Structure 1
Amino acid sequence: MGCVGRGREIFFTPKPRDDNLFGRNKELEKLLSYLHDGVWVAVLGPRMVGKTSLAKSAVRRYVQDKNSMGIYINVASCGSFGEFSRKVVDSIETAFKAMKSQRRLKSISLGVYISDPGGILKTGIQFNVDFERGRSAVRNFVSAVNSLPPDTVIILDEIQEVRNRKDILLRSLWEIYNERPDLRIIFTGSYSGVLKALFTAGKKEAMFGRPPEQLVLSPWPVKTAEEYLLKGFEKCGIEYGHSEIADAIMTLGTLPGWLTLYGYKRCRGEPHERAKRLVRDEAVLKAKKELMNYVSTRTEPYKTIKLLKSLSEGPKRWSELKAVSRLSEPALSEVLEQLTEELGVLKKNELNRANVTYEFVNELYREAAKYLSTAEIEKR
C-alpha cells in the first residue's frame, strides 16, 4: 500500500499490485515454472498473505514472455455457481468490448493482461463471447472460457466463496480441462469450499483425481516485514520510530496485506496508534470470517470450533486439543495439517517428539478465534 502524492514515490497501495512484488521471489519463480509447465495451480494461504499480488505478478510476466493473454477475475462476491458464471462471462465481455471501442484489435499479436473488471494494457486479436441469454449458466461459462485465445491464463480470485452447486462448477472445470489443455487457471483462496473439493475429488467425481498443483504462502519472516515497512516509510518520506515498526509487527503480525494497509494509513497522515487500531479491528473481523469459512467445510464443525477456541487461549499440545475437541485422531490430524499447511493460520512448534505444540501464527487469528460461534454454523 502506498504513499500518495507530494512528489513521493508510491510504495504502499490499497489494492494488490503486480508491478512491485516484495519478498516473494522464490514463490514467484515457482509459480512461473508451473505456468510454463502448463498446469493448473492453487495459490493457498491465509487472507492478506499476498496470494493475489503473487498471481498477478506471475501472469503479467508469463503473458509478456509467451505473447499470450492473462485475465484476472475476482469472484469473491459470487456465492452460487450462477453468480460465478455471470461474473466470468460479464468480465470477459466487458474487457473485449473495451478493447474494441479503443480500436486496438488490429493485429494478431497478444501480450495482453486484463485486470478485473476489464482494465486493458495492450492487445491484438479479435474475441467473441458465444453468449446466449436463454442458455444454462454452465454452457455460458464453458463457452466463454473456451473462446479465449490459445495459452490464456485465468486467475479466479477467492474462489472458495462459491458455495452453491460446487458439483456443477467442478464438472464445468473438468470439461474445460479436457477441451482446452492449453489454458491455465490459477485459483487463489483458502483450503475450503471449491478448492477443498478440487483436492479431494475421487476418481468418479469432477477432475477425476487430478487436482491443481499447490503453492502455499506463509507470512513473512519478521526481518522481511521490518525491511518492507522501512523501505515504504523512507520512500513515503514520513517520520517514524523503530519502536513503532516493532509494535506494528507485534500487533498485526507479518501478513503482507495488513502491514501494507498500516503503511498506507501512516503515509496518509494517520499516527501510529490510530493506524494500528484501525487495521487491527478490520483484520480480526476478516480473520473470523476466514476461520468460519473453513469450519463450515468440516463434517464436525462444532468440534472444530472447540479446537479453535481452545487455541485462542494460547499454545496447546496434541493431547489437550484432542481432549477439548473430542475429534478422532485421524480427524484431528487432518484439521491440524490443513490449518497449518494449507491455510497457514497455525504454526507447529516441535522442540522434540514429546513436546509438540500448536498455536496461531499471529494475534489477529488468535483474537478472531475467541469470537467464533456455533450459532453461525446454523445460519449457513
Structure 2
Amino acid sequence: MWTKEDLVRFQQNLFIISIPIIIITGNIGSILNVIVFSGSTKLRTSPCSLYLIFSSIGYAVYLNTVPLLRFLQTGFNIDLSAQWSWFCKLRFFTIGLFLMLPRSYMLLAAVDRYLMCKTNRHWFLHRPTTWKIIIINCLFWAIVCVHDLIFYDIQISSNSTDRTCTYQPGLYSTFLSFYSILINGISMPLLTAIFGFLTLGNLKSLRKQIHTSIINDFQRRRKEEWLLCRMLLVQLFATIVLTLPITVALCYNGLTQYQQKSSFRTFVENYIFQMCTLLQYINAAVSFIVYSLTSRIFCKELVLLVKYYKVRIRQALRKHSAALFARLTHSCILGLKVMIQRSELVAYYIHRGYIDTSDPETFSME
C-alpha cells in the first residue's frame, strides 16, 4: 500500500514527465491552428476562424506561463513568484486572464455557429464586428482580473522562513471561492454547453438543406460552415469534459472551506485538485488534435498548406543553391583567369631572362 510520501513522489514524477510533453504538443498545435485558420482560403473567410485563432493564441500563452512555472516549481524547486512581489501579482493575473480568454473565444465561436445555423445574414457574423468583439472581450477580462493584481502577494509564514505567493486571507478568500465557482466553474461551461446543444439542434435542418438542394457555390459554402461547426462542437464537449473535474473540485472547496478538516482530508483534497489542474493543462493543448481527428476540411487544408510551404521552401532552396553555385563558379573563373595571367607573366619573365630558374628561392610563395 502506498504511503503519503509515495503518492507525493508519484504526482511529482507525473508532473515532471507530462508537463513538458503538454507544453511542446500544445505550442506546436497552436502554431498549426493559427497557420491553418489564417492561411486557408476556405476557413479564414469565416468569422468563427478568428475566434479559434485567438483561442489558440490564448492557450499558447497560458501553456508557456502557468504549466511552465509549475514545472520549474515541481521539478527544480524554483518558485520565481515567491521571490518578487510584482512577479507574484503578474503570474496570477496571467492565469486569470488567459484561463478565461480562450474559453470566452470558444463561447463566442459557439454563438457564431448558432447564429450561422439560424440565418446566413446577421451583424454578429461580419468580420469587422468580429474584430471589435475580440478586442472588447480582451479588455473586459483584463478589467475583471484586476483583483488578482491587488490581492495576490507574497505571504510569509509565522516562522518567517517560508514565502508563498497566494491571495490575502479573509473576505477576499470567500470572494475568490465564489468567483471561481460562478465564473470559471459554472457560467462558462454552462453557456458553452447551451449554445453547443442549440447549434446541434439546428444542424439537422441545415444538413438536410445541404443534401437536398442543388449543389452550387452557396450550398458548398454552407457545407463547409457545417463541417467547421461540427469540429467546434467536438472541441467544446472535450473542453467541458476536461474542465469538469476541476469545476467540481472548486465547488467542493468553496462549499467546505469553513469546515474543520483533518490533515489527511486536506491532503487528499489538495492531491485531487492538483491532478485536476493537469487535466486543465491537457485541455489547453489538445485543440489541434481534436480538430485533426474530427474535421476532414481541417485535415485537407492542413495537407494543402504543408504541400504549399514544402514547394515554396524547395523553390527557395533551389534558388539559393543556384545563386550560390553561380557565385562559386564566377569566383572559380576569376581565380583561373588570375592564375593563367600569372603563369603567362612568369613565362614571359623566364623567356626574357629576368628570372633565374636554377634558383629555387625565386619561386618561393613568400
TM range (shorter): under 0.3
TM-score (normalised: structure 1): 0.22
Bigger proportion of residues as strand: 1
Bigger proportion of residues as helix: 2
TM-score (normalised: structure 2): 0.22
